[in-house]
């Protein structure tokens, strides 16, 4: 044992621990990344400022007016179709607001109808009925291969050339009229009770969401499922009914009346609006159908066989097993189609529908503020697209399959 050398001399001394690196040290990759990004952002901002300042200087040198002060001036033109009570004596910004609302009328309603029709067509592609599969396939191949502008013009010509004159308008029970002037129908006379009904519906929705969360937590703890959809529907209807009753239970309708010249009263949808809405819905739903078909096809055949082994009918299997799994594939490309529909609504100017592009064109011709009017259009569509993307990203996060 005395011949053994101590091992302590063979082991090199341990280095003293180094001090903690500062979060803002240049050696930090994260710090360098932030610095580079700030420099690039500053460079881009400088280039934009340089471009804008030179453009304004050149316009001023040539006597061209610039700036957004014209938005506070009286517009001086009327808008044939609006929901904001626009008057020609009101400023330009109110005209742009009316055009934006008209764009939203097409985009929001179009997205809802496109989702419903496209989903049905996509599911129909997997039908056991050969005739139904063929109709869905023919629809997709027909409408998605015709330019959307031609489809808008086609529907506009159908409404303005082939429908009867107002004196010979088709009608249903003297309540709904269809003619070259569009569609007229009974409209609800809005009162305070209806506002309270909407407020009650919102409160009912909050209560339904709270109950659904409670039912989910209860199921996770006990394994016993509670009815959700029926209770949620009852809460929604009860909230709306209580608000309606609290407001005096108003129930009055404005019934359209036809004479030799026009249909007075009630609600109306113009041929321009119908042409834009129907054209965009039929065109975009063909692409949505392919998105849904691809999402369903991505679900493995074993899932279909497993649901069939449990005794589920094909319809229930599609609704309860296949579609929930296909959503993670469907939602991202579906977002692109919603954005395309919103941006394609700018083609409404071709059929005379007063959307934000049409209002901007009229304002440009009257004021000569081309840059400003185009900037307003870009700002409107950019805002709508970002809001749509944000909502769909949130919904995609909720629908994603989470690993346990």
Q: What letter would DSSP give residue 74?
A: B
Report pLDDT digits (tens) over 19-64: 555 556 777 788 888 888 999 999 999 998 888 788 778 777 776 6
Q: What's the confidence (pLDDT) of residue 62?
A: 73
Domain annotation covers residue 154: yes
Domain annotation covers residue 249: no
What is the Cα Rg of the chain in Å?
Answer: 30
Domain annotation covers residue 146: yes
∠ at Cα 182 (250, 89), nearest 5°? 75
Return mean pLDDT, the chain: 85
Report pLDDT digits (tens) over 58-115: 777 776 667 788 889 888 888 888 777 788 888 999 999 999 999 999 999 999 999 9
Report pLDDT digits (tens) over 191-246: 888 888 899 899 989 998 898 888 888 877 887 777 888 888 989 999 889 988 88
Query: 0.85 exceeded by the pTM?
Result: no
Domain annotation covers residue 143: yes
Quick check: 382 pLDDT over 90? Answer: yes
Helix, coil or strand: residue 125: coil
Domain annotation covers residue 222: no
Q: What is the dihedral of CA 94, 98, 100, 103, to 10 degrees?
A: -170
Give the mean pLDDT of 384-388.
Answer: 94
Distances (CA, A) of 138 to 121, 132, 270: 10, 10, 29
Rounded Cα–Cα distance for residues 265 and 188 (Å): 11
Q: What's the confidence (pLDDT) of residue 244?
A: 86
Q: What's the confidence (pLDDT) of residue 5?
A: 52
Q: What's the confidence (pLDDT) of residue 1?
A: 46
> Which distant-in-sequence residues (6+ apart) come within 8 Å of 124 by Cβ?
132, 133, 135, 136, 289
Domain annotation covers residue 152: yes
Name the residue among 89, 48, 86, 93 with its Cα closest to residue 68.
93
Determine contact, residues 65/51, Cβ cutoff 8 Å. Answer: no
Domain annotation covers residue 309: yes
367 CB burial (10 A radius; 0-12, 13-18, 19+): middle
CATH number of the domain to which 358 belongs = 1.10.3720.10
Q: What's the confidence (pLDDT) of residue 3?
A: 52
Give the mean pLDDT of 171-183.
Answer: 85
Domain extent at residue 332: 92-161+272-399
Determine contact, residues 98/92, Cβ cutoff 8 Å. Answer: no
> Which distant-in-sequence residues (6+ apart) come within 8 Å of 123 by Cβ?
292, 296, 318
Number of domains the chain is built from: 1
Report pLDDT digits (tens) over 237-277: 998 899 888 888 888 888 888 877 777 878 888 999 999 99
Domain annotation covers residue 263: no
Determine contact, residues 289/118, Cβ cutoff 8 Å. Answer: yes
Name the residue among 244, 235, 183 with its Cα closest to residue 204.
235
């Amino acid at each position: 044992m005395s011949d053994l050398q101590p091992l302590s001399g063979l082991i090199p001394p341990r280095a003293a621990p180094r001090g903690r690196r500062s979060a803002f040290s240049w050696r930090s990759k994260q710090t360098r990344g932030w610095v580079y990004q700030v420099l690039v952002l500053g460079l881009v901002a400088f280039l934009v400022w340089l471009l804008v300042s030179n453009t304004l200087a050149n316009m001023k040198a040539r006597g061209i007016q610039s700036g957004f002060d014209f938005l506070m001036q009286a517009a001086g033109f009327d808008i044939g179709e609006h929901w904001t009570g626009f008057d020609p004596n009101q400023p330009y910004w109110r005209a742009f607001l009316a055009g934006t609302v008209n764009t939203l009328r097409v985009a929001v309603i179009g997205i809802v109808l496109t989702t419903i029709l496209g989903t049905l067509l996509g599911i129909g592609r997997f039908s056991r009925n050969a005739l139904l599969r063929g109709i869905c396939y023919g629809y997709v191949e027909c409408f998605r291969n015709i330019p959307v502008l031609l489809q808008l013009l086609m529907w506009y010509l159908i409404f303005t050339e082939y429908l009867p004159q107002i004196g010979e308008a088709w009608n249903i029970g003297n309540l709904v009229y269809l003619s070259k002037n569009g569609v007229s129908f009974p409209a609800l006379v809005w009162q305070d009770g209806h506002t309270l009904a909407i407020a009650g519906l919102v409160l009912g929705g909050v209560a339904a969401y709270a109950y659904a969360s409670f039912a989910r937590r209860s199921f996770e703890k006990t394994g016993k499922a509670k009815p959700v959809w029926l209770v949620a529907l009852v809460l929604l209807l009860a909230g709306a009914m209580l608000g309606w009753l609290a407001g005096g239970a108003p129930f009055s309708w404005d019934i359209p009346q036809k004479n030799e010249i026009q249909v007075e009263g009630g609600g109306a949808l113009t041929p321009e609006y119908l042409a834009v809405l129907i054209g965009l819905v039929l065109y975009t739903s063909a692409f949505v159908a392919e998105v849904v078909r691809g999402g369903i096809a991505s679900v493995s055949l074993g899932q279909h066989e497993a649901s069939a082994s449990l005794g589920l009918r094909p319809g229930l299997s599609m609704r309860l097993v296949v579609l929930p799994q296909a959503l993670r594939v469907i939602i991202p490309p579906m977002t692109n189609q919603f954005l395309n529909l919103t941006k394609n609504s700018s083609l409404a100017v071709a059929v005379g529908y007063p959307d934000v592009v049409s209002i901007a064109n009229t304002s440009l011709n009257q004021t000569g503020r081309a840059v400003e009017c185009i900037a307003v259009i870009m700002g409107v569509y950019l805002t709508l697209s970002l809001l749509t993307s944000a909502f769909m990203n949130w919904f995609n996060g909720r629908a994603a399959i989470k690993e346990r």
